[in-house]
Chains A and B, each alone.
Chain A
Amino acid sequence: GESVGLHLPTLSVQEGDNSIINCAYSNSASDYFIWYKQESGKGPQFIIDIRSNMDKRQGQRVTVLLNKTVKHLSLQIAATQPGDSAVYFCAESFIEIIFGKGTRLHILP
């Protein structure tokens, strides 16, 4: 079975608000984590990554938080825009990469 999962299959957010997508992982030895964005009809695209020696990493409008104590990963998207509408999934890596099932982010006008 999957060792990486997401708490919600669908998340609806008002345009302009911040989005928070959560992910739980099970392998405490995982030392590299990635968030991907998959738009309809396209392949997954890398958004941001974080290594286990960090607890926060920021990109352009996105922030990834890593809590190794509870094995939790989150992706925060600031000022959500219509173009952010997609499925987001996390991946954990230690020797092999395991992907979560994904959360669909739906933007409300």
Chain B
Amino acid sequence: EAQVTQNPRYLITVTGKKLTVTCSQNMNHEYMSWYRQDPGLGLRQIYYSMNVEVTDKGDVPEGYKVSRKEKRNFPLILESPSPNQTSLYFCASSLSGGRVTNEKLFFGSGTQLSVL
């Protein structure tokens, strides 16, 4: 089944403790992206990647890192999480770059992160 898989679904951590949220897609998509979703603010893009070893900042990149060593994986790293990063996070992918070719995004099921 074609899908975007995120792990974990729920995560509670404390301020400053490094964490990684994994994202994997099995559709051979070139484009992958991370969003955070907050009440009243909608989906905001954190980072995106047009292809392997190519990553770019989105609208809210501060406090986050990403890597794209393989086509299928796009982990989101919080080196020193803070309470304002408590949010619902979504990974998404599309075939060849939603930003340029206007293709629909496929989303993962989300990761609810709470930073205490």
Contacts and interface: CB of A to CB of B under 8 A. Distances in A.
A, B assembled together: yes
Q: How large is the interface on B (under 10, 10 to 19, 20 to 34, 35 or more residues)?
A: 10 to 19
Q: Main secondary structure on chain A at its contact with chain B? A: strand
B102 A2 contact: no
Given A31-B102, A97-B98, A45 B42 contact: no
A43 B25 CA distance: 14
Interface string B82-116: 00000000101000001110101111111000000
Contact of A99 (B42, B99, B104, B106): B42
A102 B90 CA distance: 16
B102 A93 contact: yes
B102 A44 contact: no
Given A34-B104, A43-B110, A49-B104, 5 more contacts: A34-B105, A36-B107, A43-B107, A44-B107, A102-B42
Contact of B42 (A2, A34, A51, A96): A2
Contacts, number: 48
B113 to A, nearest CB: 15
Q: How large is the interface on A (under 10, 10 to 19, 20 to 34, 35 or more residues)?
A: 20 to 34
B41 interface: yes
Interface string A86-103: 000100010111011110
